[in-house]
Structure 1
């Protein structure tokens, strides 16, 4: 077999992880060489903090664990944010950091950080790679990363450990299907079962979350929604799990027009949560509506009370309910369409005539992008509008950090997604603040000849915080951004760049999105006034 590094690389390759994102250092040289020798591609990020976001987005679109490498000391501390994002975003990720040799770790202080203490609060497990246990450790790490609910695992290894020879190991990957098998029903003594709860409801609503996406529950959602006449609201990270052009689609929770969605849920007499994860909630759950909890995990969060739970694969659970449905459709398409009209009116509130509004940018780019386009979205005021307004019909087609909600994800996320998807178009929708955190990754996109488009909403502000300062009567403090010529910046990194200030200019700039030959950056100079009406 060879050395410990080879076993690690073999495990990654056997698990279908053909690409890792890294920033190198002395302790991981042997590991990177083992990966190169086994055709596991090592992609150099501009820094550790963006490399880990690339790995997260790569995992989002592939469904396989993402992987990133860092060195010791500042290399390891730099990936903490991205590792935490994967855990809170429920994305399987294997992060490996180098460390000094075990015999010196307790007596050397230079660049030595206790990885167990550092990563335990933000991962599902923080372990160590050792020659005698490397096979077991890698199997555990990979299996744990995908197990419900998915998240990040961190492993520490030294140059000495990676170079050490190991006995022959037959590398066999563990099961990488995170969904639970079998269905278990939990209910209050004497209380109704799930079918009775749904059958007795007059105005039920389905609330689908990221767990439904992981379980491939799109067909089951459509089947139950159509059979029972139930509108479907989705969480932001589940966008696309239910097609947004379907007559039963009812919007995205906790994005723009938030009050319209919460009022709609409050008007229901049963909320069926299908893989909904409270980690995405921005606003506290205040509904008194009964909840039927359907997920791969029990309702241990208790963000909402639920006297009846169906625990198991979300798709199978929904199919089971659809099989047993015997009633008439509960809500007409006309009623759901009227709700969508209210949502649409609220979405466009605050537009300034003759200016480039945030919703104009979303509408124009969506119209120009091919249907199968995957979009990554950074965090900021624009995210709330993208989450509600970008229409998609496909699962895993809108990628965002909405558990940890970390700025800086959008651009490196787009690079990671595009590397995984090949010919599928990718668009990054980012604010100028989030873009500044990761701008140099444009150079990697150009070097790899990626055909992605990066649209930057430029308003010179950290708008979400500035609006809150204004609401409190405070002046803008540390929320105004210095102006940058993004077109010149794009050109210096081998990308095309264009500045737009109107809808017509943006339509012209996006006319060729389907035929890009290298990265395109669009500097969209927006009027932020619409944000005030929205939030």
Structure 2
């Protein structure tokens, strides 16, 4: 077989059944091989960025490897944002691109780009294949590397002549290495037992380690009050009574206050991101820190941990659960205090009462959360709607919440929802987006129609870049600059042009019917939700500020009144 055929044979060997791609000159041998292969489902997206983001969404929703394919030059460069997104959120991904023939590399040939040089900082590893004989080893190593340890994207750039060259080697098919390392946890247990106000802090590393069940069992049995990062939403489950919600820049007042007052912070599978911690000098000022993670590079990167433990999160969580089940922590007073904060300092948003009133973002999301099935997967974009989902939607599992955390990629949601629908074909998948984000990859509606995917699209339209407008209002003296989107297209007509049914709602009394209508429809459907332009996300921490200095609408209005009086 030739190199291209060998790639498909390797896919079969590793049970890779779905790939996302876009053909072109230098990758054409692989597409020619696909003609004769009925075991690999190739999904043709309408832009290479859509391919990468769809592969990302597929991986996040399934826990499997995402695969994207493109040609050289602009095909490869169009993948870069999606691959960077996967790298920042540690999504396991295999990226395969064609390259100009080996003899032309370095000559500025048609559609030649230095892929390895351009992608150095956004991949876990990358390869330029120099001969067909080394392709089998590289493929197998790349597939293993992308999924083992801390996952991430691995990029293989393959010259066209290598794809056409014959190779007799067979796929190796090594199993993915997952360390079952459980260090001595005696010191961690001792610190937990001496703490009077211990707090559990979890992030996206829980699902990356496939440790969702182990974490859920630990969280319930330990009884620790808990906070989550944006990527950790869903870790405790929607019915947890100990969860104080998301912390950080747009976190709940309860979560940020608990962090501020705890005397021990148990961080598991989180990297202490700046959007979560705020100003480091003011973060958890009274707390000793235990940091448990699969990646040693995260230890002591931003905050020094008194105890840093690297190992397999499943093994560690199971051992912690066993120990604390035998002798529970005595922190009843702290639990009561956190419950009080949870009641009074959670995400507060009144449901709309007036039928003819305009639709508000938080109330809409709360209604959606009540109506949608428990196993619904939501892929959102970046902006105000992203934070409203994080604050007000009740997720029962972290793989149900797909969001661009580290890179903050507008345009992520629609292709990610496509990937998620391929990963979970029998589940309800929603893309909840803003009008700005939607236009970034709107062409992927053609992909939805092509495969008749039952993805539901919800556009929360305030005719502006809402999060930018909010920061300009609060921190730039309300000097608006280049945020108006009042020339948006008619989104209902736009969807119908792609043969996707659509409807628009503008009033509170239309919300329930609108949500129920799209959820009941058996195919794809779009719901255009008009919301107020000046609606903000509350609470908020000023960029560079401390989390304990959160601003909410009441405090902001009070400060405005005092300023006017002065």
Query: Shared topology, TM-score over 0.5?
Result: yes
| d(CA) in 2 for partners of 1:466, 1:352 | 27
Aligned to 1:365: 368
Question: 1:434 and 1:274, CA in 2 relative to 1: closer, same or farther beyond 3 A?
Answer: same
Aligned to 2:343: 341
Question: 1:303 and 1:134, CA in 2 relative to 1: closer, same or farther beyond 3 A?
Answer: same
User: Contact between 2:292 and 2:309, CA under 8 Å: does it hold in 1?
Assistant: yes
Structure 1 residue 506 corresponds to structure 2 residue 511:
yes
Structure 1 residue 90 corresponds to structure 2 residue 95:
no
Question: 1:164 and 1:280, CA in 2 relative to 1: closer, same or farther beyond 3 A?
Answer: farther
User: Contact between 1:92 and 1:152, CA under 8 Å: does it hold in 2?
Assistant: yes
Aligned to 2:212: 218
User: Contact between 1:256 and 1:347, CA under 8 Å: does it hold in 2?
Assistant: no
| d(CA) in 1 for partners of 2:537, 2:182 | 46
* Cα displacement string for residues 300-353 of structure 1 (whole angstroms, at most 9, x for unaligned residues): 352121121221111221221222232444246654432222333x43279896
| d(CA) in 2 for partners of 1:381, 1:416 | 23
User: Contact between 2:349 and 2:363, CA under 8 Å: does it hold in 1?
Assistant: no
Question: 1:331 and 1:431, CA in 2 relative to 1: closer, same or farther beyond 3 A?
Answer: farther
2:431 to 395, 419, 428: 428
User: Contact between 2:384 and 2:537, CA under 8 Å: does it hold in 1?
Assistant: no
Q: For structure 1, which segment, 116-125 or 298-307, has the greater mean C-alpha deviation from structure 2 after superposition?
A: 298-307
Aligned to 1:193, what secondary structure does the other structure show?
Answer: helix
User: Contact between 1:52 and 1:68, CA under 8 Å: does it hold in 2?
Assistant: yes
* Cα displacement string for residues 44-97 of structure 1 (whole angstroms, at most 9, x for unaligned residues): 111111111001001111212111111111111111100010000110111111
| d(CA) in 1 for partners of 2:51, 2:86 | 13
User: Contact between 2:456 and 2:519, CA under 8 Å: does it hold in 1?
Assistant: no
Aligned to 1:189: none
Residue ranges of structure 2 left out of the alignment (5+ in a row): 541-566
| d(CA) in 1 for partners of 2:65, 2:155 | 12
1:270 to 260, 264, 268: 264
Aligned to 1:292, what secondary structure does the other structure show?
Answer: strand
Aligned to 2:141: 140
| d(CA) in 2 for partners of 1:173, 1:281 | 40
Question: 1:110 and 1:36, CA in 2 relative to 1: closer, same or farther beyond 3 A?
Answer: closer
Aligned to 1:479, what secondary structure does the other structure show?
Answer: coil
User: Contact between 1:257 and 1:343, CA under 8 Å: does it hold in 2?
Assistant: no
Q: For structure 1, which segment, 290-299 or 119-128, has the greater mean C-alpha deviation from structure 2 after superposition?
A: 290-299
| d(CA) in 1 for partners of 2:353, 2:81 | 37
User: Contact between 1:23 and 1:47, CA under 8 Å: does it hold in 2?
Assistant: yes
Aligned to 2:420: 417
Question: 1:480 and 1:465, CA in 2 relative to 1: closer, same or farther beyond 3 A?
Answer: same
Q: For structure 1, which segment, 404-413 or 3-12, has the greater mean C-alpha deviation from structure 2 after superposition?
A: 3-12
| d(CA) in 2 for partners of 1:407, 1:49 | 11
1:240 to 231, 234, 238: 234
Question: 1:55 and 1:171, CA in 2 relative to 1: closer, same or farther beyond 3 A?
Answer: same
TM-score of the pair, normalised by structure 1: 0.93
User: Contact between 1:255 and 1:388, CA under 8 Å: does it hold in 2?
Assistant: no
| d(CA) in 1 for partners of 2:472, 2:400 | 34
Q: For structure 1, which segment, 446-455 or 30-39, has the greater mean C-alpha deviation from structure 2 after superposition?
A: 30-39
| d(CA) in 1 for partners of 2:308, 2:179 | 14
Aligned to 2:416, what secondary structure does the other structure show?
Answer: helix
Aligned to 1:360, what secondary structure does the other structure show?
Answer: helix
Structure 1 residue 287 corresponds to structure 2 residue 284:
yes
| d(CA) in 2 for partners of 1:183, 1:335 | 33
Q: CA deviation at 1:279?
A: 4.6
User: Contact between 1:131 and 1:162, CA under 8 Å: does it hold in 2?
Assistant: yes
Aligned to 2:103, what secondary structure does the other structure show?
Answer: helix
Aligned to 2:90, what secondary structure does the other structure show?
Answer: coil
2:381 to 375, 378, 391: 378
User: Contact between 2:462 and 2:531, CA under 8 Å: does it hold in 1?
Assistant: yes
| d(CA) in 2 for partners of 1:533, 1:250 | 16
| d(CA) in 1 for partners of 2:300, 2:175 | 26
Aligned to 2:431, what secondary structure does the other structure show?
Answer: strand
Structure 1 residue 300 corresponds to structure 2 residue 294:
no
| C-alpha RMSD of matched pairs (Å) | 2.2
Residue ranges of structure 1 left out of the alignment (5+ in a row): 187-191
